[in-house]
Chain A
Amino acid sequence: MDTQKRIVIWASAVLIIGIIAVGAWSIATGPTTTPINNNGLLSEEVTASDWTKGAQNPKVTLVEYSDFQCPACAAYFEMVEQAVTEYDDRLSFTYRHFPLAQHKNAQSASYASEAAGKQGKFWEMHKMIFEQQADWAEKNNASEIFKGYAQELKLDLARYATDVASTEIKDAVSHDRDTGLRSGVDSTPSFYLNGKKMQNPRSYDELKALIEFAIVNG
């Protein structure tokens, strides 16, 4: 084969690979093909299948899409706990899973909380997972650590082990994630106050102000 042909072959190969690389990069890092914008509204109302605590007949509902491994979510955990305690007669809080792909243990944390929920201790597990985030976030044996939490919570460990691996729990977590995507959630935590997307408050006072405003104005 003459030199010219060889140059053509290798140059076009390099060119095609380059084009594909640039294309793959822009598709993968650019906005998703169908950017979902639900006009800042929550796509799925709070139902009985959600994890909700606080007021029985709330004036204000707060829904959070959260990832157990996201540091910001752990920071907001304290704030939300405080609000739920302070407004326990008017505010309800719903936790929905939105584990992100770049957090290797987020999913198993979600499964652990759901499995604890099967034994009535969702919120207890939720608290432990967030409060001790630093202990498990980057570990390779996170699911073992969660099992330790299950033990501390005096759960039936055999049942926990079955539940944590069950399709039912995986489906519940991915259901949450799907409703989040439909609502236009693209980062964690994302809060919805009375079904409307809320700017993440920068302090507890700001969160309080938002809740008070919602109590008065519905």
Chain B
Amino acid sequence: MNTLISKITPTLLIILILVFSLMGFSDALFLFIKKIAGGPIPCFIGTGCDTVASSPYSNIFGIPVALYGVAFYLLIGVCTLFYLDTKKMFFARLLLPLTTLGFLMSLYFIYVQKFLIGAFCVYCIISAIISTILFVLGIVSRYVIRTP
């Protein structure tokens, strides 16, 4: 594990985080636009997309869950860019708490889909996978990005 981490350079890590946060951003934004524009959501794997997207669990405090996703991935991306720009440790150290939050939220959403709705939506699963990857990258950032 340590040898693997030692092969990851800060630049590679930053690129990975940016790429995955962009992927998550696209996924969440697509769902959010679908939510406000209406119309059936084409589910390329499984059939639960509409079941999940129109369930009462798709809003938290009256705001679509997808919008939280958009904001979350955007925040991760912007935070990484701020680090890249300013090289301030504050931004790098923000990554782990943020991605942990995202990971925990994803766990909760998987739970909701499995036990409360009884249907899965492929875009939500993709988002959960991405936020898990980001969480791992967040942990790695603690080792790779060090105070200069």
| B interface residues, Cβ below 8 angstroms from A | 22, 25-26, 29-30, 33-35, 37-42, 44, 47-48, 50-51, 53-56, 74, 77-78, 81, 84-85, 87, 118-119
Contacts and interface: CB of A to CB of B under 8 A. Distances in A.
Contacts of B41: 101
B119 A101 contact: no
Nearest to B41: A101
Interface string A7-41: 00110010011001101110111001110000000
A29 B22 CA distance: 20
- The interface residues of chain A, by DSSP majority, are classed as helix
Contacts of B34: 28, 101
A100 B51 CA distance: 10
A20 B32 CA distance: 13
A101 B33 contact: no
A13 B77 contact: yes
In order of increasing CB-CB distance, the 7 nearest A-B pairs are A102-B38, A28-B33, A24-B29, A101-B54, A24-B30, A32-B42, A28-B34
Contacts of B38: 100-102
B29 A33 contact: no
Given A10-B85, A106-B54, 13 more contacts: A9-B81, A13-B78, A16-B22, A17-B25, A17-B74, A29-B33, A29-B37, A99-B54, A101-B35, A107-B55, A170-B51, A170-B118, A177-B40
Contacts of A159: none
8 contacts: A10-B81, A10-B85, A21-B29, A24-B29, A24-B33, A27-B30, A101-B41, A186-B40
Contact of A99 (B50, B77, B118): B50
A104 B56 contact: yes
Interface string A164-191: 0001001000100110010000100000
A1 interface: yes
Contacts of B77: 13, 17
A154 B57 CA distance: 30
A6 interface: yes
A4 B77 CA distance: 20
Contacts of B85: 1, 6, 9-10
B26 A23 contact: yes
Contacts of B119: 170
Given A29-B37, A32-B42, A106-B54, A13 B30 contact: no
Contacts of A103: 54
B55 A102 contact: no
A181 B40 contact: yes
Contacts of A100: 38-40, 54
B81 A174 contact: no
Nearest to A25: B33
B82 to A, nearest CB: 10
B39 A102 contact: yes
A17 B29 CA distance: 11
Contacts of A27: 30
Contacts of A10: 81, 85
Contacts of A101: 34-35, 38-41, 50, 53-54
